[in-house]
Chains A and B, each alone.
Chain A
């Protein structure tokens, strides 16, 4: 697909959408959104994390989540890799890495708070909002529970209260949005004893991460995960081993989620605009064909009838003439016969009278 065609469709799509909805779909332009200015984020430095699970405990406390099956100081849960679920907004997993044998590595999992979130793009009631402070928030008062956000999220973050019969919610990390509004730090950041988590302006965090990579090139992989992944995320990661060794996907690409659907969305306006025209055209053509066929048919019938009429007329005339001729002949014959009879009668009468006179 060439750029110019895509752009063209994009323009048309934007025009159509903004006419109908009165809101701009800037995914269909060549503008690039690189995050709200001065928005916040968190930098996770994998080389500092010791897997103490203090962040998990703090998260559980500040978000008033249900108590876990096993206490947070029980590090045996690290034997297994876990994921977030409706009662857990963040987990720390331990990974055995071949390139660093005997040295366990840890990674914290929670919502990455994308700059252009897939969940927000996918939500058909706009329950998710990327706030200007950086957090992606969720409004349960409008949520229908369709779970399309869970399909859409490339990081498999949103979770669902499957056990709730009538009031299930999507659950995920809020970047402690309520706490940040009060001027507090996110629960996990506040609890981290090793400064593996740093909260701050995203731009500053990127600078800090670059600085660390520059100063300790042997310690870090030369990549800030989240700077560009899926269009960039508010959470950023540094690691001493390739990110795939920490079960982080390296094949997500740098396109923000909305750009994946903009083509299909811009097609909507085109179909809605052009299909009626096309279909009415097809209808008109088929109608006209029917009409032409109808006219041709009636013309053919009329011509055939006319032809048939003429033939009949001729035949009748011929028959009449014949009849006339025959009649005339018959009359002639009859007249002749009558005359002959008359002549014979006259002759006979004359002969009779002659005999009478003789007598």
Chain B
């Protein structure tokens, strides 16, 4: 009887929750597809072609994944560099989300590239420094390391490694600055990847400002992900949170919502400037133009307005849903640049649409992320300060 009560309290002893069942099925399918990918090649699982070498494993797993993992650098910069200490409780969850996001990006790349064990080649064998992809690779590799170190104090508090933990905490400012530099570089470089193909990306999305667009929109993605992740966490992990975290929740949503509204306004402005700079106005009257306007008005201007209203009225529900709208907008933007507006010149028969197996692998990787996130936040001091280290950071 007593044992049963313990089991009921701790949901890890209940393996058959709906979430676990669905996650389990996804993981099993994912593993089967993994076997297929590494025995039969990309042809057996993807719809990639010689015209379209990059599909959703790049468009979603890499481009969207990296953008949505920007919460780590945005939050740590706000707290440790800009001195907005009232958002301190948001740092650890954001760093964790960022770290997992980047780790999953690297995992996803192992599926996409032909010979994944050669991924270190660009650094150790032959350096193609004229490639934007070299920059992306170098910065992502370095930033993943930085995020790991930034995250490590939580793990070391859990494991009781006091001296190592204190040493790392002393490096916080240095790591934060390094993280912002690396993030600026690779977030923008992901956009710059497409600069080399002006003949393949529709002129409405191709711009010399692509790197700037990707960087600015990654800040928006990071801010929105912190709001979104925090509202989900408060729903499912409330019992893991200490009073400071619970008290700061609304503050974080209001502050980050305000920042997102301002950044979206700036982003909208530079997008319009881009159209004007290349004199692309006439394309707005085409089919692609209509889709461009959906993105610009529905997923940039609208969330900008809604965030502003939400912050003015202190309407947390509105802010939460605006965060979702903004994240959808970022996904649409990355899909547009990498897939929808890419190869716009080809006849419909040659265009790309992902196979269910490609989508399956992407869902599999997101699911792994959720499972690892749950494993960590239920064990390590992420939503709370460790009792031994209260008021030390």
| Interface residues of A, Cβ cutoff 8 Å to B | 1, 17, 21, 23, 25, 27, 83-86, 118, 120-127, 142-148, 150-152, 154, 156, 158-169, 249, 251-253, 257-258, 260-261, 263-265, 267-268, 271-272, 275-276, 279-280, 282-283, 286-287, 289-290
Contact = CB atoms under 8 A, between A and B. Distances in A.
B130 A258 contact: yes
A260 to B, nearest CB: 5
Given A143-B114, A146-B113, A271-B181, A122 B188 contact: no
B185 A271 contact: yes
A37 to B, nearest CB: 22
Interface stretch (B145-153, B194-202, B297-305, B364-372): B194-202
Contacts of B46: 162
Given A147-B54, A253-B198, 6 more contacts: A25-B130, A83-B51, A122-B132, A162-B46, A167-B114, A282-B82
Interface of B: 37-44, 46, 48-51, 53-54, 77, 80-83, 112-116, 118-119, 121-122, 125-135, 137, 173, 177, 180-181, 184-185, 188-189, 192-200, 208, 211, 345
Contacts of B53: 147, 150-151, 160
B193 A151 contact: yes
Nearest to B201: A151
19 contacts: A25-B130, A86-B50, A118-B197, A122-B196, A125-B126, A144-B114, A145-B118, A150-B53, A151-B54, A161-B41, A162-B46, A164-B114, A168-B41, A168-B115, A260-B198, A261-B130, A261-B196, A265-B132, A283-B83
Contacts of A275: 177, 180-181, 184
Contacts of B81: 279, 282-283, 286
A253 to B, nearest CB: 7
A317 B317 CA distance: 60
Contact of A152 (B49, B177, B196): B196
Nearest to B189: A264
A268 B131 contact: no
A144 B115 contact: yes
A261 B192 contact: yes
A85 B49 CA distance: 9
Contacts of B129: 17, 21, 23
B177 A279 contact: yes
Contact of B185 (A165, A167, A272): A272
Contacts of B180: 275, 279
Nearest to B345: A249
Contacts of B80: 283
Nearest to A152: B196
Best-surrounded residue of A1, A252, A253, A283 (most CB of chain B within 10 A): A283
B127 A146 contact: no
A167 B321 CA distance: 46
A150 B50 contact: yes
A158 B43 CA distance: 16
B82 A126 contact: no
Nearest 5 interchain pairs by C-beta:
A145-B114, A286-B83, A147-B53, A264-B192, A162-B43
Best-surrounded residue of A257, A264, A283 (most CB of chain B within 10 A): A264
A279 B40 CA distance: 49
B388 to A, nearest CB: 26
A264 B195 contact: yes
Contacts of B116: 144
A143 B156 CA distance: 39
B186 to A, nearest CB: 10
Contacts of B114: 143-147, 160-161, 164, 167-169
Given A123-B128, A154-B197, A168-B114, A268 B181 contact: no
Best-surrounded residue of B53, B198, B199, B345 (most CB of chain A within 10 A): B53
Contact of B50 (A27, A159, A267): A159
A339 to B, nearest CB: 70
Nearest to A282: B81
Contacts of A165: 37-41
Given A85-B50, A260-B195, A125 B115 contact: no
Contact of B122 (A144, A147, A154, A252): A144
B188 A144 contact: no
A142 B113 CA distance: 13
B126 A280 contact: no
B132 A261 contact: yes
Contact of A290 (B38, B41, B83, B189): B83
Contacts of B196: 118, 121-122, 151-152, 257, 260-261
Contacts of B41: 161-165, 168
Given A150-B53, A272-B185, A283-B83, A124 B137 contact: yes
A144 B134 contact: no
Contacts of B40: 163, 165
Contacts of B115: 143-145, 166-168
A162 B42 contact: yes
Contacts of A253: 198
A225 B198 CA distance: 19
A15 B42 CA distance: 41
Nearest to A17: B129
A263 B177 contact: no
B126 A151 contact: no
A181 B37 CA distance: 39
A6 B181 CA distance: 22
A147 B114 CA distance: 9
A165 B37 CA distance: 7
